[in-house]
Structure 1
Amino acid sequence: MRMPNSDETPRRSSLSRLFHPILAGATLRDRLLACLGALVSIALTGLLCGALFGEGSHLPLIVAPMGASAVLLFAVPASPLAQPWSIIGGNTISAIMGVAAASVIHDPIIATGVGVSLAIAAMSFTRCLHPPGGAAALTAVLGGPVVASWGMLFPFVPVALNSCLLVALGLVFHKLSRHNYPHVVAAPVNTHLTADRPSAERAGFQEEDIDAALAKLNETFDIDRADLTRLLRQVEFEAVARSNAEVKCADIMSRDVIAIDADATVEQARWLLLNHNIRTLPVRDEAGKLIGTVGLRELALASGSVERLVSPATTARADAVAMGLLPDLTDGRTHAVIIVDEERRIVGLISQTDLLSAVARALPKGSKPAAVAA
């Protein structure tokens, strides 16, 4: 077999970079869904506008910037540039800037430059920056007699109308495909309702570290600040799990698990929790399979059967990396992870204490844990 020469290796590396997905986290499934969403939504937007305007209308049924908006809406729905206000406000406000520039400046070359620059400024100040807005401004300037005859109505019909229909169809599509849209990042909260920050935010990097890094990089990134923080914290957890990959859940889990049947009474469940000094009680069905958990919070003032009080359980497999449970067991809500087999039968349990002991053993020899404030 012929070995590649030194000239071929850089060429292959360049080709690999050329065809490598440029968006972090992009999957084939997401891209196929984006294609389907754009197909359905653009077609329906045109059909709906056609029904509203009538086939004989000289007004364009759908403007070109909607194609670019569809790329953002369906291919990168988590982007701040693809949110509903960004699409609707960005396209509409940019079209207004374009119409205004065309009405004042009669030279089309100068008008296009002024229209796009005004669109960027207006979108920035109204917090609806949307790249297709630049195209909407250009369309308003270079649209010809049809656009000129509509004047200031053009930004609203069809631009705003197209944008609203596209966003409405996008909301339905992402709901059906189980995407988080509009993209909202839930802010971490202290589940104990105190003024302290959540435990996961008290160690590691802080908000000021992110500000300092962004200032030094001197770049603008297409990612929400909250998403960036969430990503970096997950990277921390993944790094810890990778560096301690040899410790599996089976190595640290409790195997003699105290559990209860779903048809047991609340009094029996409370007795088990208090007698064994535990906080989480797995609940199993008639076949012995895990259906959820209960704790003292659910049982405190309840009566009757345990089954109606069951909460979803956090689970893992025995061969999973134990340190991978850090995000769950430090979220302020989960006190134990139930270890199950392929048939969801209970084989073990890892509590916060179990994982803390494993973390302590993983510390380098001679190192001292940082003091923990009371």
Structure 2
Amino acid sequence: MPFRLRDLIPEIGHISLQERTRSGIGALIGILVTGLVSRAAVGDGSALPILIAPMGASSVLLFAVPASPLAQPWSILGGNLVAGLVGVTAVLLIPNVYVAAAVAAGVAIALMASLKCLHPPSGAVALTAVLGGSAIHDLGYGFVLWPVLANSILLLATALVFNNLTGRTYPHRPTRAAPDRGTADPTPAARLGLSASDLAAALKDYGQVLDVSPADLAAIFRRAQVHAYRPGRGPATCAEIMSKDVIGIGPDAPMKEALELMRGHHVKMLPVTDEGARVLGVVTQTDLLDKTTWGARGPRLGLRQRIRVSLRGLRAPHGVVADIMTRAVKAVRPETSIAEVVLRMTEAGLHHLPVVDGDGRLAGVVSQTDLVVALLAQATEDPPSPAPA
């Protein structure tokens, strides 16, 4: 294939203006905080380096691509520590500066890869230990503690605060898998498409380091399946299939009332709402079974759950719905596609999802039964694909 100039430009997915702005502001704040705190710690007249250049490269990863495996806390701390130790050792053992620099970079990369703390800017840390001049060499192994470890901790702490305050989850956690049912069956999401073993085998055959975790790669593949889905004439959104006449319950209602409502209406989940119909959580059959102790008068709060509620510091346990409800609600909107709902349910192992409007008020509930009926209707209404010639 002939060489093309555009081959020099990497193919990177679309980066929104908001994301570009957030990354730039994050790096600005991270380097500023690291520099100012470091200067305050050592003082202006100190001979110790205040800020080392590799932190600029680290800020690119921590604030621009915080989901990367190369940007996680162990990557920056472990990678920079390993590289600093290797660089100082190379200076002490190898007289030729260029040979020492080459050995430091090569050995540091090999060790980081082995310890699963690969961090590209750490290569610059190793070279800084070798090429930093007498000010760095005089520090000896103290260089690893200051400025390498100190700068790394300050930059990492800033990234932890900034990323989480601006809507990112850092350290990055892949999509939570559906709970283990304790059986030999794979999860529903794993029964279709690529399995975890298929993906692991493909990555092993590929044989190169990818800047994305296998779990994220699997999640991206599932998302691609959702976007490839093209609804036909059947229902397309939650608003078209959800139950609108929903039975809810207040957070201060007794647990026995929740049980009676479930039994009376033959449902397995009740949205928990405040007086303004805003969803505060959900209470399910599983909550009633796992978080309570059963007696002749019905469910009551068990000792273990009482301790959990008390340690959360919310309030003293009273044996009401608020003490056992699930607060981390994975709600959807009326305009959410049914394909997206299928993905969320299978990933988290859920059977029901509350539907909320723009103000967080309860609009309905979509269940697995609703999805089965909708998808069956769509399958029977869509015209069959023409047979191949």
Pairwise TM-score range, normalised by the shorter structure: 0.7 to 0.9
Change (3 A) 1:257 1:219: same
Match of 1:35 in 2: 24
Is 1:124 aligned to residue 140 of structure 2?
no
Match of 1:4 in 2: none
Alignment of 1:172-187 (within 5 A): 172-185=161-174, 187=176
One-letter identity of the residue aligned with 2:95 = H
Change (3 A) 1:189 1:107: same
The one-character-per-residue Cα deviations of 1:225-245 (angstroms, maximum 9, x if unpaired) are 2221222223233333x3458
Is 1:247 aligned to residue 217 of structure 2?
no
The one-character-per-residue Cα deviations of 1:247-275 (angstroms, maximum 9, x if unpaired) are 23343333444445667665554333223
Change (3 A) 1:307 1:63: closer
Structure 1 range deviating more: 275-284 or 154-163: 275-284
Preserved contact between residue 234 and residue 378 of structure 2 (Cα < 8 Å)? no
How much does 1:155 deviate? Answer: 2.5
Is 1:111 aligned to residue 111 of structure 2?
no
Distance in 1 (alpha carbons) for counterparts of 2:49 and 2:79: 19
One-letter identity of the residue aligned with 2:345 = L
Change (3 A) 1:245 1:133: farther
Determine which of 180, 183, 200 is the counterpart of 2:189: 200
Preserved contact between residue 280 and residue 293 of structure 1 (Cα < 8 Å)? yes
Match of 1:330 in 2: 346
Tell me the matched-pair count: 352
Distance in 2 (alpha carbons) for counterparts of 1:193 and 1:362: 33
Preserved contact between residue 329 and residue 335 of structure 1 (Cα < 8 Å)? yes
Alignment of 1:216-231 (within 5 A): 216-231=205-220
Match of 1:148 in 2: 137
How much does 1:151 deviate? Answer: 2.4
Is 1:321 aligned to residue 321 of structure 2?
no
Q: RMSD in angstroms over aligned alpha carbons? A: 3.5
Is 1:167 aligned to residue 183 of structure 2?
no
How much does 1:179 deviate? Answer: 2.4
Preserved contact between residue 98 and residue 136 of structure 1 (Cα < 8 Å)? yes
The one-character-per-residue Cα deviations of 1:152-176 (angstroms, maximum 9, x if unpaired) are 3223222222212222222232333
Q: Secondary structure at the match of 1:151?
A: coil
Query: 1 or 2 for the larger relative contact order (CA 8 Å, sep ≥6)?
Result: 2
Structure 1 unaligned segments of length 5 or more: list them: 1-9, 368-374
Alignment of 1:70-81 (within 5 A): 70-81=59-70
Q: TM-score, normalised by structure 2?
A: 0.76
Alignment of 1:269-308 (within 5 A): 269-286=258-275, 292-298=281-287, 301-302=299-300
Structure 1 range deviating more: 309-318 or 67-76: 309-318
Structure 2 unaligned segments of length 5 or more: list them: 290-298, 302-318, 385-389
Q: Secondary structure at the match of 1:154?
A: helix
